[in-house]
Structures are given as structure tokens and as C-alpha cells.
Amino acid sequence: MSDSIRTIQVHTRPAYTVSIGSGLLPQCGQRLRDVLPLCHVAVITDSTVAPLYLEAVKQSLLTAGFTVSSYVFPAGEAHKNFEALSGILEFLAEAHLTRTDCVAALGGGVAGDMAGFAAACYLRGIHCVQLPTTLLSAVDSSVGGKTAIDLKAGKNLAGAFLQPAAVLCDTDCLASLPAAMFADGAAEAIKTGVLCDESLFAQFEDGTLTAAPEEVISRCVAYKAGVVERDEKEQGERRLLNLGHTVGHAIEKCSGYTIPHGHAVAAGLAIIARSAETLGWTEAPIAARISACLAKNGLPTGTEYSAEALADAALADKKRAGGDITLVIPRRIGLCQLKKVTVTELLPIIAAGLEG
């Protein structure tokens, strides 16, 4: 197997390896033999990804000696719900998966979240491996063990932590991504730059990402792995990874999940940066620099929804604890801090960040 594959260890319990590089999906069977017994692997994917990669993954798993079955659900965040989850769980039961078997989540953030949650609930938890095929799932959602579905009240409101047994990120999948989906992942990588890595952020300011996606993915995953090792269940530091997400999740909810996650996070990031400047929590020109970078990468920097609608939607967010909500505030590019505010303060904070 190619030694140009980069690997990052995530030292959680259990620990696992994130592998990043070209050609990993057609090798997934051999690679998973290193971390799984010869078991039944149920590949869960969506209707967009299945025609592209499902057969190659199944063939590789079969060749390596696994028993393989697959289930395809309709693509899109609007399907990240109980109905689709129930379809997956019933499928796992009908396919007779046992406690020693494994779910393989093949696809973007929705597939990873939903298949991961099914693995976390089925028989009170079976193994899961993540096979991300989008930039967004590569740089963020496939790592760290968060799994969830959306409820009518809001995004990711039912879920569980389940660290995967392995993450195999085949960068060949990125070549077939439509520009808007690539931009979606760029939003989470730009977020990482704002959190911890000014030189990563600067690559997006230059628009040079497409030249070296492995490097960008590795830097995002390495940072996230460290945060997750120190705070697996989001009691403290991991909350920083929610930069842009309070308003971002509100935008997704207000749009009926028609605005993709990365686009909503981009707008949420631009809005909280403007709020922070207006309210004197950070200094200009951080907001203008963030907005320019997002725009350069085809991402929005504002929203059509009112501060009232966004604040209402955000109050259902799981980042709320009683009467408080924890926001992530950029102090400079590469450094952010947590700020606890009351729910009544949220509306004026959001209003301060909406453009003119």
C-alpha cells in the first residue's frame, strides 16, 4: 500500500487512526483488516454518493474477506431525521448485524452523522468506521465521534458520542465535488484557521487550497484531534470548534435546511466577527479580513434572516445551558475565546453583526 498516505492518531478511548491520501476507498478492505475482525460490515451511504463509490467500497471489503451489505438513504440534510435513522436501524436488524459487526459511514457530513448515530444506538453500540467523501467531512465531521440527527426544534438535537474505529479519507473523492460543496468544506477549514492557524487561513486568502488538499485536511484533523483528546465530550475546550455555529445552525434551521452547513457556518462566522468588533470584544480589521477570505472562497458573509428569527432559532441550540449560551469570539486570526452570554443578550449580539 502507498506510503504517501498521511496518518494522524486520535488518542481517545478507543484510540484510532485517521488516514488521508489518494486511493484509500479501493483499499478500504485491506486497511480495515488492521482494525476490525473479519465481521459483517454494513455500508450506509446516500443517494448521491452511492452511484460514485459504493461498488468500489463493497468490492474492496468483499475481497478482504468481510461480509458486506449496504443501505442507501435519500441525500440531503432534510433527510437527517428520525425517519431515515429508523430505516437504517431496521435495515441493520434485518441484516442480522451483531455486536461484533460494523457500520461504515460512506459520504459527507449527513452520512457520517446519521450512520454514526445508528451505530451508536443499534444494540446499544457497535463499531463504526468513517469513509468521508467531501471536504467538509474530511476536515471536520468524520473525526471526533459526534453523531446526530436533526429534530424539528433544531439541528443535531438527538445524538451520541461514538469514536470511530478508523477514518479513511480518500482525497481522490474531492476531484468530483461540485464547487459549492468544495466551498462548504472550505468554510470549516477557514474556521480552523481562525481558531488556531493563521498560515492555514492565509492559504484561503490566497485561494491556493485546491493545490494541496491533503495538507489542509491534515492540519485541520491534527488540530481537531488534539482538542478532542483533551475534551472528548465538549465540556470546555471543544466548544471552540463551534465557532460560527450558533448563528450558522440558526440559519440552517430558518432555511428549512436548504442552506448547506458550511455556507451557514461561513455566514455565522462573518456575523459573530462583526458583532465582536462592534461590541468592542475584538479589534478591526478582523471581521473584514474574515469576510474577504470567505467571499474569495465562494462563501456567504451575511444572511437574509432577521436577528429576531435567528435568535429564536438559536435558543433551541444545544450550546445553550439553562439561561446561558456560550459563543466563540475571534480575538485575532489564530486565536478565539469562549464567551458566556445570557439568552436575552443573544438578540442584540446577533443584530450587531448583521450587515447594514
- Which set of grid coordinates corresponds to residue 59? 468490492
Of 296 and 319, the one with the shorter C-beta distance to ligand GLY is 319
Beta bridge partners of 146: 161
- Residue 146 touches ligand GLY, criterion: CB under 6 A: yes
Residues 6, 33, 238, 318: which binds ligand GLY (CB under 6 A)? 238
Minimal distance in Å, beta carbon 39 to ligand GLY? 27
From the list 4-12, 19-27, 138-146, 334-342, the region that binds ligand GLY by CB under 6 A is: 138-146
Minimal distance in Å, beta carbon 139 to ligand GLY? 10
- Residue 339 touches ligand GLY, criterion: CB under 6 A: no
Minimal distance in Å, beta carbon 242 to ligand GLY? 6
Return the number of other C-beta atoms located less than 10 Å from residue 47's C-beta: 13
Find the angle CA(143)-CA(234)-CA(195) to the nearest 5 degrees. Answer: 70
Of 50 and 181, the one with the shorter C-beta distance to ligand GLY is 181
Minimal distance in Å, beta carbon 218 to ligand GLY? 17
- Which set of grid coordinates corresponds to residue 140? 471536520
From the list 50-58, 74-82, 87-95, 136-144, the region that binds ligand GLY by CB under 6 A is: 136-144
- Residue 121 touches ligand GLY, criterion: CB under 6 A: no
CA distance 5 to 24: 9
From the list 116-124, 140-148, 263-271, 322-330, the region that binds ligand GLY by CB under 6 A is: 140-148
List residues with catalytic annotation: 124, 146, 188, 224, 234, 238, 242, 245, 249, 261
Of 141 and 291, the one with the shorter C-beta distance to ligand GLY is 141
CA distance 286 to 183: 21
Residues in binding contact with ligand GLY, number by CB under 6 A? 6
Minimal distance in Å, beta carbon 148 to ligand GLY? 10
From the list 61-69, 73-81, 141-149, 324-332, the region that binds ligand GLY by CB under 6 A is: 141-149
Residues 110, 114, 190, 241: which binds ligand GLY (CB under 6 A)? 241
Q: Where are the alpha helices (DSSP H) in the chain?
A: 28-33, 55-63, 82-94, 109-121, 135-136, 179-196, 198-206, 213-230, 245-254, 261-278, 286-296, 307-314, 343-353
Which of 270, 292, 262 shows the shortest CA–CA distance to 183?
Answer: 262
- Do residues 315 and 242 make contact, with C-beta atoms less than 8 angstroms apart? no
For helices 261-278 and 286-296, what crossing angle results, to 10°? 160
Query: What's the gap between Cα 18 and its chain centre?
Result: 14
Return the number of other C-beta atoms located less than 10 Å from residue 151's C-beta: 14
CA distance 261 to 128: 23
- Residue 144 touches ligand GLY, criterion: CB under 6 A: yes
Of 238 and 331, the one with the shorter C-beta distance to ligand GLY is 238
Residues 46, 77, 140, 184: which binds ligand GLY (CB under 6 A)? 140
Minimal distance in Å, beta carbon 284 to ligand GLY? 28
- Do residues 74 and 47 make contact, with C-beta atoms less than 8 angstroms apart? yes
Of 318 and 339, the one with the shorter C-beta distance to ligand GLY is 318
Minimal distance in Å, beta carbon 142 to ligand GLY? 10
Using DSSP's 3-state secondary structure scheme, residue 322 falls into coil
- Do residues 309 and 254 make contact, with C-beta atoms less than 8 angstroms apart? yes
- Residue 318 touches ligand GLY, criterion: CB under 6 A: no
Of 46 and 140, the one with the shorter C-beta distance to ligand GLY is 140
- Which set of grid coordinates corresponds to residue 172? 481522490
Residue nearest to ligand GLY (CB): 241
Using DSSP's 3-state secondary structure scheme, residue 356 falls into coil
Of 144 and 300, the one with the shorter C-beta distance to ligand GLY is 144
Return the number of other C-beta atoms located less than 10 Å from residue 334's C-beta: 16
Which residues are at the interface with ligand GLY (CB under 6 A)? Answer: 140-141, 144, 146, 238, 241
